[in-house]
Amino acid sequence: MKNLIVLNLKVYGESLGRRGLELSRIAEAVGKGTGARIIVVPQTVDLADVVKSVSIPVFAQHVDPNDQGAFTGTTTAEAVKEVGCKGTLINHSEKRLRVEEIGRIVEKCRRLNLDSLVCAATTEESRALASLRPDYIAVEPPELIGSGISVSSAKPEIVRNTVLRVKEVADIPVLCGAGISNGKDVKKAVELGASGVLLASAYVKAKDPKTLLMEMAENI
């Protein structure tokens, strides 16, 4: 299986509505042009429009552990499945969950045939969450998120050790997140054993997102 680039568009003004749709279409074009596996993760309000507009996989940024029903303000796994999403991020550092909640969401995703990408802050947390058997784990030290300093460069031992410790539990692909900003960061992450990268602001706020993503795709 090819290595993976996951683009989290977060809730920046630069990724809302038509701007998020354009970033998603750029990701689709780069994926088709290079053969790279790219997943786009738009804002929740844009999920349905993006799913209808691109052929690459679309993930939600978060789903809640509750079932459908009287749970105002929550986003269910059933809802993102209904609009055509292929998976979801879970436990991003900006949307932390309890282990029990993560487990419930992962299990629900499994039943609904949705991919689960669980985020973790440390090697130890990554290993612990591997026991839940998500489809992917992304290790992201919170202090480096949005910093422009990649974990693959600043703390390569975290990537290397996380890959090893997760493999002790299950054969789950580990992605490298936090500060991934260019093709060099992507290449280094893969050399350290990661199966891909998870990034956000570097892509969303790039002056030329297509050129940046092309560079990353060529190094994945």
Residue 145: per-residue pLDDT: 55
- Report DSSP state, residue 11: T
Residue 43: which pLDDT band, with cuts at 50, 70 and 90?
very high
Whole-number average pLDDT of the chain: 92
pLDDT digits (tens, 9 = 90+) for 93-147: 999 999 999 999 999 999 999 999 999 999 999 999 999 999 999 998 766 555 5
Catalytic residue flag (residue 124): no
pLDDT-above-90 percentage for the chain: 81
- Among 118, 202, 207, which residue's Cα sits nearest to residue 216? 202
Annotated catalytic, 92? Answer: yes
Phi/psi region, residue 133 (left: phi>0; alpha: psi -120 to 50; beta: rest), is left
- Give the pLDDT of residue 177: 81
Selected catalytic residue, list 94, 100, 140, 191: 140
Give the whole-angstrom CA distance, residue 124 versus residue 112.
28
DSSP symbols for 71-124? -TT---HHHHHHTT--EEEES-TTS---HHHHHHHHHHHHHHT-EEEEEESSHH
What are the boundaries of each domain within the chain? 4-219
Architecture of domain 4-219: Alpha-Beta Barrel (3.20)
Per-residue model confidence as pLDDT tens digits over 150-170: 655 657 788 888 999 999 999
| Predicted local distance difference test score (pLDDT) of residue 2 | 78
- Number of neighbours of residue 12 by Cβ within 10 angstroms: 15
Q: What is the mean pLDDT of residues 73-86?
A: 98
- List of residues 6+ apart from 159 with CB closer than 8 A: 139, 151, 152, 174, 176, 189, 192, 193, 194
> Does 52 score more than 70 pLDDT?
yes
Burial class (CB within 10 angstroms; exposed 0-12, middle 13-18, buried 19+) of 182: middle
The pLDDT, as a whole number, for residue 158 is: 84
Of 148 and 15, the structure prediction assigns the larger pLDDT to 15
Q: CA 72, CA 131: separation in Å to the nearest integer?
A: 31
pLDDT at residue 101, rounded to an integer: 98
Give the predicted TM-score (pTM) of the model: 0.93
Specify the pairing of strand 4-8 against strand 87-90. Answer: unpaired
Which of 92, 100, 107, 191 does the annotation list as catalytic? 92
Integer Cα distance of 98 and 116 in angstroms: 16
